[in-house]
Amino acid sequence: MSLLQRMLQSLLGADRASALLGDIEEEAARIRAGRWWITSQIAAHVFASAWLVASSRMARTGGLRGMKHDMLFAVRLFRRRPGLFGLTIAGLAVAIAISTTVFSLVKAVAFAGYGVSAPDSVFRVALADGGPFTPTTGTSPYQGNWAFSDYTGLQPAASSLAVVASVNGYEEIRAERESTDAVGIGVTAVTGNYF
């Protein structure tokens, strides 16, 4: 006899438990279920029986009225020894804070992803020396302006990614066509798929 079956007998009594176990075995034979299904059904009935026993005992002992007496007793104890209860509450607060900190750090270090569902599929495009692409400004292979002809050549070759580009500049704007007073503003032009 398994532990779950013994628990069911102690909660319901031997007669009721044997009748219930017989019904579960008949149902398992009818639907051709395996041992795992039988065990899960017995476990579900053990939990349901434990809940019913606990709720019936709570109803016999006064339910919420009994809890009211427990709360009043706790308040009286707190008034008699506030230092002990204050130290207990402070200790629990510190323990919760330490646990939260440790679990947050462990999650961030060990279990956090990289922000990309498939990090192996992320690539960084750079300009290589002697390659077909040439930067128009700067010496870094990752930063600087690329020629527009390079962008238009790279876009159709990249079938599985979106190639986007932006151009920053400084332009002068006049309120009227004949006006000589110009206001300088920063301008960023982007490709249509940038956003």
- The reply to whether the predicted model has a pTM over 0.95 is no
Residue 109, both tokens: 């270090």
Q: How confident is the model at residue 107 (pLDDT cuts 50, 70, 90)?
A: confident
CB 156 within 8 A of CB 147: no
CB 185 within 8 A of CB 170: yes
Q: Does the pLDDT of residue 94 top 90, yes or no?
A: yes
pLDDT at 99: 96
For the chain, domain boundaries: 3-60, 64-111, 119-161, 164-195
Quote the CA–CA distance of 1 and 30 in Å, as a whole number: 22
Question: What is the identity of the amino acid at 63?
Answer: G
For 171, the 3-state DSSP assignment is strand
∠ CA(189), CA(194), CA(195), 5° rounding?
115
∠ CA(57), CA(60), CA(61), 5° rounding?
90
Mean pLDDT computed over every residue of the chain: 76
Helix H or strand E encompassing 167? strand 166-174
Q: Does the pLDDT of residue 73 top 90, yes or no?
A: no
Measure Cα distances from 133 to 31, 103, 147, 155, 163 in Å. 68, 48, 8, 13, 15
For 15, the 3-state DSSP assignment is helix
Of residues 124 and 87, more confidence is placed in 87
Quote the CA–CA distance of 82 and 143 in Å, as a whole number: 65
Q: Does the pLDDT of residue 135 top 60, yes or no?
A: no
**42-75: burial string, b at 16+ Cβ within 10 Å, e else:** beebbeebeeeeeeeeeeeeeeeeeeeeeeeeee
